[in-house]
Chain A
Amino acid sequence: MSETILSVQGLEKHFPVTKGLFKSQVGAVKAVDGISFDVRKGETLGLVGESGCGKTTTGRLITRLIEPTGGKITFEGHDITHMKQGKLRPLRRDMQMIFQDPYSSLNPRHTVGAIVGAPFRIQGIETEQGTKKAVQDILELVGLNPEHYNRYPHEFSGGQRQRIGIARTLALKPKLIIADEPVSALDVSIQAQVVNLLEDLQNELDLTYVVIAHDLSVVRHISDRVAVMYLGKIVEVGERASLYSSPMHPYTNALLSAVPIPDPKQREGRERIRLTGDVPSPLNPPPACRFHTRCWKAQEICKTQEPPLAELAPGHAVACHFPENAPSTTETPATVA
């Protein structure tokens, strides 16, 4: 097994909620509530979940765009949880972020050359043949015409803009890239181009990805391992093949079952699990197992005891009292460690 590049332990982000005349704190939105995972060098970890599950917050915590309220983030052996921005800057080179919206994340008044070259200036890096050459090399790498160096973002299509965004993150040869919904704003035919590009770059540049997305099919295609989040918790994490073929958490099952399949013949025969209602608010989430309000397998214990994330099969952990597809078929509560 290859070495761990990023390690997250018990990461928490609680946003305070205030009320009344004196803005006293009455609660907290537990956007991320104690999650732990490791990312290994060279792999792609997919982070999936519905809106409000905390996947985007997690991405921003890892990159230190927001300050965690608890837990620990270790990147390449450095504890960066509360590292000062000044000390963090050299590490930022190695850890970059790709954003969802290629329209709003590029400054419309800067040329492509300036946008992609900005990291060089900020980090004060001299390149052998000058920044321009370096930028043009990167543009070529992501499939853009290097002669478009002096053009502005609005002169490009959505897919090309996302390529610019990717080029910017690649400028400093990072080791880890956090991609937050990198393709969801793009047209179907363009999504595939960008997905392929991300895979090619990973092979060529030996990159490690954390891909945050709501599209289970895209995540399955691109990831080696997948973590499923629900209301600020990781409910299941495992190797792609085992997670998609034998999901253990009822929520993962429901998610997979909800994805429309582009095959009209499967319309009738397919077994469907339909969850009722919406995801509860992360402010005052249900106690114990957070999924119990929508779970068809929920028992009394689910309302009183939070199930731990337990490894039930090699490399496949689930936080559920009544997991499905578990190696031991007896449907007894998993032992609480």
Chain B
Amino acid sequence: MTFLQLNDLKIHFPTDDGLVRSVDGLSFQLERGKTLGIVGESGSGKSVTSLGILGLHKGGRAKISGEIWLDGEELVSASPEHVRSLRGKKMAMIFQDPLSAMHPYYTVGDQIIEAYRIHNNVSKKVAKKHAIDMLGRVGIPQPDRRVDSYPHEFSGGMRQRAMIAMALSCDPELLIADEPTTALDVTVQAQILDLMRDLQRDFNAALIIITHDLGVVAELSDDILVMYGGKCIEYGSADDIFERPEHPYTWGLLGSMPRLDREVTERLLPIKGSPPSLINVPSGCAFHPRCAFEPRTGGKGSTLVPDLVETEGGHLVRCHLSREERRDIWATEIKPKLES
């Protein structure tokens, strides 16, 4: 049985301005020891997905449907109390900004101790020893002293390490990292990415890394899921996404970022327009107003939602263009420009 499986997950928020379809029919699978990268821009629904898996999407007002299977248990229909008992133990999360994600009034140690004691019936003393162990494991020097420091006394990188120590304190099997390095400097980001790679190997957890940075995804992920307007628009192995991308949005992302490993291109190849508001997702293919190839779909783009179709060996694409058209465009129009 698959360790984590999402089937047609939908998370909708009724608001005064209309229904926000943050996540709109998302399915994927993830095994222990593997890393899935979820890539998307603001409002793509990537963060709400992760909160939904943990049952942390905002309480009563959100409407959630579909299935989340975690190690043989279905979580959408499970009692909130049961999901709570899994949070922190079976599944844990690392957040973007470790300064605001840690309570300013409690020491780093207290916060790790608390996380450990929720799920382990041990004395404070034992838990503190465990907290010191964990801080040492994530590379914090002098952990027996730093355990009594407050978050604001840590540097940004140290805080994120402490956050990781907290998330791993109960040995979770699923770890979700939401933009874990976005708030960090580049040299510190490299350290944290290394740390996450090493720890995942040690803990053999399933890791979901959510980010807007294709570089970070490429560093860590086995598989990659590209989200746009609450839906998966392309899914495949890291090689699929970076070597043989088939969705115009993925092409756009690749063309938008300057790369250090290539010659300097004359111009970047951006996507026109802005990411859609989730209240007013465009009809048909959500990407069609920004898509340079929409005219080639014969008007289907604005009227029909394309299906997510397997193109080859687990590589899924949601696009009206035919497989041949996509491969042709990639090979003749996109790839040469990216590599010029």
Contacts and interface: CB of A to CB of B under 8 A. Distances in A.
Interface of A: 50-51, 157-160, 187-193, 195-196, 199, 214, 216-218, 220-221, 240, 244, 254-267, 272, 274-276, 278-279
6 smallest beta-carbon distances between A and B, as pairs? A260-B215, A192-B270, A221-B258, A192-B256, A258-B190, A264-B238
Interface of B: 41-42, 155-158, 185-191, 193-194, 212-219, 221, 238-239, 242-243, 252-261, 264-265, 267-272, 274-275, 290
B212 A188 contact: yes
A242 B42 CA distance: 36
A242 to B, nearest CB: 13
A182 to B, nearest CB: 14
A176 to B, nearest CB: 23
A50 B184 CA distance: 9
Given A258-B190, A260-B190, A192 B268 contact: yes
Contacts of A258: 186-187, 189-190
Given A190-B274, A279-B185, A259 B260 contact: yes
A195 to B, nearest CB: 6
Contacts of B214: 188, 262
Contacts of B261: 261, 263, 266
B258 A261 contact: no
B260 A274 contact: no
Contact of A159 (B189, B191, B274): B274
Nearest to A156: B274
Contacts, number: 137
A44 to B, nearest CB: 12
A216 B257 CA distance: 11
Given A187-B275, A190-B274, A278-B158, A240 B264 contact: yes
B257 A188 contact: yes
Nearest to B39: A188
18 contacts: A50-B187, A50-B188, A51-B185, A189-B253, A189-B256, A191-B256, A192-B255, A192-B268, A193-B272, A217-B259, A220-B260, A260-B215, A262-B254, A263-B261, A265-B242, A272-B190, A278-B157, A279-B187
B187 A261 contact: no
B42 A187 contact: yes
Contacts of A257: 190
Nearest to B183: A51
Contacts of B239: 264-265
Contact of A260 (B188, B189, B258): B189
B183 to A, nearest CB: 10
Nearest to A259: B260
B85 to A, nearest CB: 36
Nearest to B224: A264
Contacts of B216: 260
Given A266-B261, A278-B157, A261 B256 contact: no
A154 to B, nearest CB: 13
Given A216-B260, A220-B258, A263 B185 contact: no
A317 to B, nearest CB: 21
Contacts of B41: 187-189
Nearest to A281: B155
B258 A254 contact: no
Contact of A192 (B218, B257, B260): B257
A260 B213 contact: yes
B258 A218 contact: yes
Contacts of A221: 258, 264-265, 268
Given A217-B258, A264-B218, A264-B238, 19 more contacts: A157-B274, A157-B275, A192-B271, A193-B270, A195-B270, A220-B264, A221-B264, A258-B187, A258-B189, A259-B190, A262-B215, A263-B218, A263-B242, A264-B239, A265-B242, A265-B243, A266-B261, A274-B191, A278-B156
Contacts of A220: 258, 260, 264
A10 B288 CA distance: 53
B257 A256 contact: no
Contacts of B215: 259-262
